Amino acid sequence: MRIRKIFENTFLKRDGLYFNLHHLKEYPSTSLLSPYPITSLGIGALWFSGFGQVFSRVLASVFCFVFAGCENTSQLGSLTVVSEGWLIRPGSPSKYLKRQLTQVAPDAISAADKEVFAAYEESGPSVWSTSWTSKLDFTGVAWDNAKAGTLIHPQFVVFASHFARRKGESLTFHDRAGRPVKRKIARRAMIHRIKDPDFTVAMLDQPVPPTVTHYPILPVGHDYRVLNGAPLLVTDKERKVHLFRINRVSRTGYEQIGARPALGHEYGSGLAERLEKGDSGHPAFVLVNGRLVLASTLKGGGWATTGPFFGGSKIQAALQQAIKRLAGSSTG
């Protein structure tokens, strides 16, 4: 079934002829001049232009399944979704996420090790930390204000609705060289305030450059309760990274994720810290193939916290609808 689905996503059948969809997208003006009828002469052309792509995609899926890797992402509407290879392989996805963390985090964490920046200027050049956090790309978070904004697209950010910036306010990101990248909020779409899921999508006045990242999210269609016990990298208004553990992922209504600070010894107690007032809306990530994947923008402080789960189908549908509405209003 999977091979058939890949084939159908690769070829378009029309009047007994198969057209390569990759060519249709890449060469829209000439693609219909190169159909591949299912004949002995057409099979060769079909293989080299299409089956090679199908075969490579099947092999890639097998490779992902066996080795839990693949840094590949795909586009789901306006959102970037991370590969599901690590989720469908034998074994625990939670253990995979733990191994990912141990590859970047030291055995013992000091207070300074949690800092994202060594020196920070809200609107000027900043210096990223040289600790283990330097292995992670935090350029897609606007750290210039306690009301953090997190990029899910080069032109769209998410906030906690009860702690969001207003239309016309600016955000400052910093690229990997520490250079500030400033943008303004052109318009917003609130997805409930206080009540779940408590997040707002905002459209920037223009996209950020490629030197500033935006974060993929998790694919829908999985029972994410398997992530219970997995590490969650949580950020705060002081531009620090803390280790929490996922303790629940709800599947009813707007999906939510819950987490508590990790007090276990395996990563060092220095990574555990409770959240405080003003930390709401800061992003929380899981680590997949060394890449930060946005799991939530948490709300609430203390020793336990919850937030919208961006791997949920209802949450993603709300995101897509908000982005479409905001983008449409900019051209209307």
Are 164 and 36 contained in the same domain? Answer: no
Alpha carbon distance 297, 196 (integer Å):
12
What pLDDT does 175 receive?
Answer: 98
Are 255 and 291 contained in the same domain? Answer: yes
C-alpha neighbours within 13 Å on the C-beta side of residue 297: 31
Mean pLDDT taken over the chain: 79
Are 92 and 154 contained in the same domain? Answer: no
Are 37 and 173 contained in the same domain? Answer: no
Closest CA to 69 of 47, 84, 49, 53: 84
* pLDDT classification of 171: cutoffs 50, 70, 90: very high
- For residue 45, is pLDDT > 80? no
Strands 231-235 and 241-249: antiparallel
What pLDDT does 46 receive?
Answer: 40
Are 14 and 60 contained in the same domain? Answer: yes
The verdict on residue 323 lying in a domain is no
Count structural domains, the chain: 3
Alpha carbon distance 146, 163 (integer Å):
9
* pLDDT classification of 68: cutoffs 50, 70, 90: very low
Output 331 or 253, whichever has higher pLDDT: 253
Are 97 and 49 contained in the same domain? Answer: no
Residue where a domain terminates, one of 181, 211, 241: 211
Q: Kindly state the DSSP code that residue 235 receives in the 8-state scheme.
A: E
Strands 283-288 and 231-235: antiparallel
Are 84 and 232 contained in the same domain? Answer: yes
Are 96 and 231 contained in the same domain? Answer: yes
Full domain range(s) for residue 36: 2-67
Are 20 and 94 contained in the same domain? Answer: no
Closest CA to 148 of 57, 91, 215, 50: 215
What pLDDT does 252 receive?
Answer: 80
**pTM confidence score:** 0.77
Are 226 and 100 contained in the same domain? Answer: yes
CATH number at residue 137: 2.40.10.10
What pLDDT does 56 receive?
Answer: 44
What pLDDT does 225 receive?
Answer: 92
* pLDDT classification of 15: cutoffs 50, 70, 90: very low
Greatest C-alpha distance within the chain: 70
Output 176 or 55, whichever has higher pLDDT: 176
Q: How far is CA 140 from CA 153, 282, 316, in A?
A: 9, 12, 19
The verdict on residue 73 lying in a domain is no
Give tens-digit pLDDT for 101-117. 889 987 777 777 889 99
- For residue 250, is pLDDT > 70? yes
The verdict on residue 72 lying in a domain is no
CATH number at residue 283: 2.40.10
The verdict on residue 325 lying in a domain is no
